[in-house]
Amino acid sequence: MNPLFRKYVCIAAVALLLAILPIAASMLGQEYYISLFSRILIYAIAAVSLDLLLGFSGMISLGHAAFVGIGSYVVGIFFYHSAEMEPLLTHPFTVQGSENGLIVIPLAVLVSAIFALVIGALSLRTKGMHFIMITLAFAQMIYYFFVSLEKYGGDDGLSLYARSTLPGLDLGNDLQFYYLCLLLLSLFLLFTTRLVASPFGIVIRGCSNNERRINALGINAYGYKLACFVIAGAGAGLAGALLANQTEYVSPGLMHWTLSGELMVMVLLGGLGTLFGPVLGAAAFLLLEEFLAMYTEHWMLYLGPFLILVVIFAKRGLYGVLVGGGKDHG
């Protein structure tokens, strides 16, 4: 079968499965799976954003979870100030808290993008192992900064007590929240697919293969890589905002480097440089975690050999096993 045809068949099958899953779960009285797959969709957004860095631009970041945490804390902090009826800022102008999703979710994406711009501008002046370590260092600094914020719970985190509000939607309803997550994942996948197929994506892949040649052509490789870093950070911020709403809780643990490692495992498990692969990787990782944890607290002991087998025998990940293709360049 033609790999391109197999690709679209698999994508359509997964999309159909995700569309009908919550309805089937409700009919069978298994509403818990709606919450579980909402979490999978959220982590899939974060994993796809990381794949932009790992799979297409060759930037290995161990600090990607910082942007997930920042996005979640934007939602959490605005909710806290709204509930306490206390302004977030009073100088130089007054900023009130809010539970309005039309405000806090875009703001979470924007703030995460701004942090990514600053961190990327500094980190991208290094390469290789130095880049990996400096992204890790920034993430850990942000982690400890939020641990120190006693007003917002410190190490214990911050409870939201309710989800954000959106006109015409009840995000407190798990079914409606699930379809919002599915819609945002679909839009993000569409955006990133078009992005990597554009001239921008061609330059980014060129930077990964031979940055000196890109610069020799008169193209500012640093600027393109920074733009990619910011877009990936914004996508992670979106995942963080949704995760805060799903769990109704935020904590510094969302910024820890271990979450960055888990996202990296999802990308490798699903298929590096495929965009759709990390969705499969997120599903496989979280489902294995969920069901293995029912039998043992040492579930990672069993996940490790599975990951090794995938890396050795399916170098393109689960996506490659299903589709038989390589990187999604268009």
Secondary structure (3-state) at 185: helix
Q: Which DSSP symbol is given to 160?
A: -
Quick one: tokens of 65? 């979870």
Residue 327 and residue 84: Cα distance in Å, rounded?
48
Give per-residue burial for 244-261: e unless 16+ CB within 10 Å, then b: bbbbbbbbbebbbbebbe
Question: pTM value?
Answer: 0.93
Task: Tell the CATH topology of 3-323.
Answer: ABC transporter involved in vitamin B12 uptake, BtuC (1.10.3470)
CB-neighbour burial class of residue 109 (10 A; exposed 0-12, middle 13-18, buried 19+): buried
Residue 163 is predicted with a pLDDT of 93
Residue 318 and residue 324: Cα distance in Å, rounded?
9
Mean pLDDT, the chain cut into blocks of 10 residues (330 residues total)? 77 91 88 93 97 92 95 95 86 86 96 97 91 94 93 90 90 94 96 94 90 89 95 97 95 91 92 92 91 78 80 80 62
Residue 251 and residue 68: Cα distance in Å, rounded?
11
Residue 326 is predicted with a pLDDT of 47
Q: Give me the DSSP letters along 277-295.
A: HHHHHHHHHHHHHHHHTTT
CB-neighbour burial class of residue 321 (10 A; exposed 0-12, middle 13-18, buried 19+): middle
Helix, strand, coil % in the chain, rounded to nearest 5: 75, 5, 25
Residue 105 is predicted with a pLDDT of 96
- Specify the DSSP element, H or E, that contains 313: helix 300-313
- Which residues have CB under 8 Å from 173's CB, separation 6+? none
Residue 107 and residue 79: Cα distance in Å, rounded?
13
Residue 1 is predicted with a pLDDT of 59
Secondary structure (3-state) at 85: coil
CB 253 within 8 A of CB 259: yes
Residue 162 and residue 308: Cα distance in Å, rounded?
40
Residue 328 is predicted with a pLDDT of 55
CB-neighbour burial class of residue 89 (10 A; exposed 0-12, middle 13-18, buried 19+): exposed
Residue 204 is predicted with a pLDDT of 93
- Which residues have CB under 8 Å from 324's CB, separation 6+? 3, 6
